[in-house]
């Protein structure tokens, strides 16, 4: 269903303040240059000098380059601070976004965000993380990390594991994995792959390259053992580091004598020739308790030069290398040796890996990286895509009740509709076939959130806005159009819902304030009706979601089996700057709990979801405050009320005394 061409001005260009100590390296500033080519206005603050790979690198701006060097104190990436005066000056200006290219737990991050708060700078901010080991930092760093993540509008990472970690640690949205950039004009393949590799290189000789730091976690000792086992292998090592003396001593042994060359630190301008001089590049990294490979830039650079890669399956390397190289177990010299020889000796393999590597490297070019940053900036600053006609897709999560489902589907069957059947029933499939709507059987009952996510994964158009429709609700196409019009009229809206009545025509409450730990105490003293729902959420029975909000917030949290899943999603959207509202001009019919026949089980699921919500967003302390408030309110009601209401209050007190999650009833389709 296409809706409303809302304009053709597209997403506005963004005025960005970027702060990154590592941008002292000239080649890393290609990101800013590429963003400028896209029309963005970028001002960069970096360190005046920084120790990179054992050498002090001074900031040397190119003519006309908008970069300012800032004095720093400290050399550890997480334990340094900037001179606050330039930060104070720049954060006093108006920016669309502040892109802080530092780890969330770093001192510099806390410093910048503190100055931003003192300057009352309201621009959203983005953070960067490469940390793909789950670490629990000591105070105050863990506090810095959670506060920084909770307030961020975007987080970009260079590997998938880091993205999932920042989400678990408090970032309310969906982190974006953007690769580290590669200069595809510098790192290029030689025009003739058959060109001789240098003097005194025999036809049976296999030249293996290694580029990087000479430290134990880089696995160069394993590489030496691999080379020692086959006389055809000759190794060229580019780099320096604390393990160099031990590596040189091993290389001088008879089984390696004359087959290992130490080149020292190779300047970045000389790296392309180094890669091209090799038959294969080895990246033998190994995971330690405190380190894991976060990206593997040398692997991408080598692939861009047409040289295949053999890498250990450490950290992010499997994702970076993919099918463009061979992967071996960490620390396995025999497997590494076999793969290095295989690249050169197996017919056709080297050419296949070369082609795949060039294609992989092309996705890391600076222009492509800048395009992905631009998309992230547009999402973080809530700039809707106004260039295309807006599509809309309906998702219905069903569980039995075919009669109700047919009543819900019949009015909207001519729209794009996907039914996710958590009950896996043949009569539901037959109904969908008869009405001509898409049917999905996930093979399990994972709950409402899992069903919604299954439907989202099946969307033909990922840019479509999405209407979530309960099977016990009814809405007409005309009402859907009005909801869509209201959503698109305000670019800050993440979701809208209609007013609702039940099957008797009685109105139902649709908009609620977000649950808060102290809110249970407000309810306990009888003041709950005075809490404002203006900053709150709208219920998910008929709920239209904006595509841009879905892209930023991410999918529903499947830990919520039933209830509070839309509350959690809406609260995460709220933290990211979105709003939610009711469209009172549209009224839908919703029976409510019509597909469930066990009120005690519903009560159990509802309060277990409340506990999950409180623990997730307010921690164990927040949950205990909320729990005590619920128990206090239930105790009072269990004393003053009579009959069924008294019994309900006493049951709720017992439920919260035990703990709702501990007392949660078994879920349909699950074995308890």
The pLDDT value recorded for residue 2 is: 44
Tokens of 179: 């690769």
Q: Using alpha carbons, list the distances in angstroms from residue 411 to 56, 474, 477.
A: 68, 8, 7
Cβ-based neighbours of 41, under 8 Å, separated by 6 or more: 13, 14, 15, 16
Residue 87 has pLDDT above 90, yes or no: yes
Q: 10-181+374-380, which class in CATH?
A: alpha beta
Residue 56 to residues 24, 29, 51, 471: CA-CA distances in angstroms? 10, 17, 4, 64
206-362 matches 10-181+374-380 in CATH topology: yes
Task: Tell me the pTM.
Answer: 0.87
Percentage of residues of the chain with pLDDT beyond 70: 91
pLDDT, residue 1, reads 46
- For the chain, the residue count is 672
Range of 180-194, 200-214, 359-373 with top mean pLDDT: 359-373
For 40-73, how does the pLDDT look when each residue is reduced to its tens digit (9 = 90+)?
A: 999 999 999 998 866 789 999 999 999 999 999 9
Q: Look up the CATH architecture of domain 390-595.
A: Alpha-Beta Complex (3.90)
Question: Given this model, what pLDDT does residue 370 score?
Answer: 96
Q: Report residue 190's pLDDT band, with 50, 70 and 90 as the boundaries.
A: confident
* Residue 568 pLDDT class (50, 70, 90 cuts): very high
Q: Specify the range with the lowest mean pLDDT, choosing from 41-50, 386-395, 413-422, 453-462.
A: 386-395
Q: Which CATH architecture has domain 206-362?
A: 3-Layer(aba) Sandwich (3.40)
Mean pLDDT of 105-125: 97
pLDDT value, residue 465: 96
Average confidence (pLDDT) over 7-16: 63
* 484, pLDDT greater than 60: yes
pLDDT at 527 over 80: no
Q: Which helix (H) or strand (E) element contains residue 484?
A: helix 477-489
> Of 27-31, 498-502, 526-530, where does mean pLDDT reach its minimum?
526-530
* pLDDT given for residue 597 in this prediction: 55
Q: What is the mean pLDDT of the chain?
A: 91
Distance CA(438)–CA(426), nearest Å, equals 14
pLDDT value for 33: 96
Note the pLDDT tens digit of each residue in 643-661.
Answer: 988 988 898 899 999 999 9
pLDDT of 195 strictly over 70: no
Question: pLDDT per residue over 136-173, tens digit each?
Answer: 999 999 999 999 999 999 999 999 999 999 999 999 99
Structure tokens at 311: 């890498």
In angstroms, the Cα distances linking 599 to 400, 489, 562, 593, 604 are: 17, 39, 13, 9, 9
The predicted pLDDT at position 555 comes to 96
pLDDT value at residue 503: 84
C-beta separation of 222 from 336 below 8 A: yes
Domain locations along the chain? 10-181+374-380, 206-362, 390-595, 597-672
Instruction: Average the pLDDT over 634-640 and give the result.
Output: 90
pLDDT at 4: 44
Q: What's the rounded mean pLDDT across residues 358-385?
A: 92
Tokens, residue 331: 């620390």
Q: In what order do the strands lie in the sheet with 233-238?
A: 260-264, 233-238, 206-211, 280-283, 309-312, 325-328
Q: Is the pLDDT of residue 672 over 60?
A: no
Strand 125-129 to 154-157 pairing: parallel
pLDDT above 90: percentage of residues in the chain: 79
Q: Encode pLDDT of 423-468 as tens digits.
A: 999 999 999 999 999 999 999 999 999 999 999 999 989 889 999 9
Token pair belonging to 332: 């396995």
Give the whole-angstrom CA distance, residue 174 versus residue 160: 11
pLDDT at 604: 82
Higher pLDDT, residue 623 or 601: 623
Is residue 197 predicted with pLDDT exceeding 70? no
């Amino acid at each position: 269903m296409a809706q409303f061409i809302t304009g053709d001005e597209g997403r506005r260009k963004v005025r960005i303040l970027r702060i990154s100590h590592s941008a002292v390296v000239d080649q890393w500033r290609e990101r800013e240059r590429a963003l400028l080519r896209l029309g963005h206005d970028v001002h960069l603050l970096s360190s005046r000098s920084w120790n990179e790979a054992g050498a002090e690198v001074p900031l040397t701006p190119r003519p006309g380059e908008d970069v300012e060097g800032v004095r720093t104190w400290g050399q550890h990436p997480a334990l340094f601070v900037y001179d606050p005066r330039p930060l104070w000056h720049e954060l006093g200006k108006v920016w669309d976004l502040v892109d802080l290219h530092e780890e969330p737990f770093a001192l510099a991050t806390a410093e910048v965000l503190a100055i931003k708060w003192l300057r009352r700078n309201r621009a959203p901010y983005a953070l960067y993380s490469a940390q793909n080991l789950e670490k629990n930092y000591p105070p105050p760093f863990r506090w810095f990390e959670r506060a920084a993540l909770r307030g961020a509008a975007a987080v970009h990472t260079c590997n998938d594991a880091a993205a999932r970690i920042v989400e678990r640690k408090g970032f309310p949205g969906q982190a974006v994995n953007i690769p580290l950039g590669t200069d595809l004009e510098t790192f290029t393949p030689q025009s003739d792959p058959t060109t001789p590799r240098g003097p005194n290189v025999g036809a049976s000789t296999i030249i293996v390259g290694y580029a990087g730091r000479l430290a134990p976690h880089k696995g160069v000792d394993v590489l030496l053992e691999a080379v020692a086992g086959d006389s055809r292998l000759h190794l060229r090592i580019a780099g320096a580091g604390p393990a160099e003396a031990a590596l040189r001593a091993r290389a001088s042994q008879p089984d390696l004598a004359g087959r290992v060359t130490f080149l020292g630190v190779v300047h970045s301008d000389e790296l392309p020739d180094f890669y091209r001089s090799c038959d294969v590049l080895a990246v033998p990294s190994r995971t330690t308790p405190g380190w894991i490979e976060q990206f593997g830039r040398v692997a991408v650079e080598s692939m861009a030069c047409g040289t295949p890669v053999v890498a250990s399956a450490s950290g992010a390397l499997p994702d970076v290398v993919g099918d463009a190289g061979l992967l071996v177990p960490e620390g396995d010299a025999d497997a590494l040796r076999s793969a290095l020889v295989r690249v050169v000796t197996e017919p056709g393999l080297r050419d296949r890996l070369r082609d795949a590597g060039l294609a992989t490297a092309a996705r890391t070019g600076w222009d492509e990286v800048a395009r992905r940053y631009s998309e992230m900036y547009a999402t973080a600053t809530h700039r809707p895509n106004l260039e295309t006609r807006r599509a809309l897709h309906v998702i219905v999560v069903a569980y039995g009740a075919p009669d109700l489902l047919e009543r819900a589907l019949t009015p909207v069957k001519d729209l794009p509709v996907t039914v996710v059947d958590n009950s896996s029933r043949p009569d539901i499939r037959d109904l969908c076939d008869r009405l001509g709507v898409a049917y999905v059987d996930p093979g399990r009952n994972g709950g409402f959130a899992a069903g919604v996510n299954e439907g989202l994964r099946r969307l033909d158009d990922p840019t479509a806005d999405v209407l979530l429709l309960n099977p016990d609700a009814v809405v007409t196409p005309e009402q859907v159009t009005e909801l869509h019009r209201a959503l698109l009229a305000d670019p800050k809206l993440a979701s809208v819902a209609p007013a609702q009545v039940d099957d008797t025509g009685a109105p139902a409450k649709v908009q609620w304030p977000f649950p808060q730990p102290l809110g249970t105490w407000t309810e306990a003293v009888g003041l709950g009706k005075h809490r404002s729902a203006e900053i709150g959420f709208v219920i998910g029975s008929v709920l239209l979601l904006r595509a841009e909000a879905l892209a930023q917030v991410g999918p529903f949290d499947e830990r919520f089996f039933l209830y509070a899943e839309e509350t959690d999603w809406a609260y995460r959207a709220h933290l990211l700057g979105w709003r939610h509202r009711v469209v009172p001009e549209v009224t839908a019919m919703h029976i409510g709990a019509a597909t469930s026949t066990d009120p005690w089980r519903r009560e159990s699921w509802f309060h277990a979801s409340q506990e999950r919500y409180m623990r997730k967003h307010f921690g164990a302390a927040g949950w205990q405050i909320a729990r005590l408030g619920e128990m206090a309110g239930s105790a009072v009601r269990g004393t003053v009320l009579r009959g069924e209401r008294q019994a309900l209050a006493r049951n709720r007190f017992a439920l919260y005394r035990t703990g709702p999650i501990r007392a949660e009833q078994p879920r349909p389709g699950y074995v308890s």
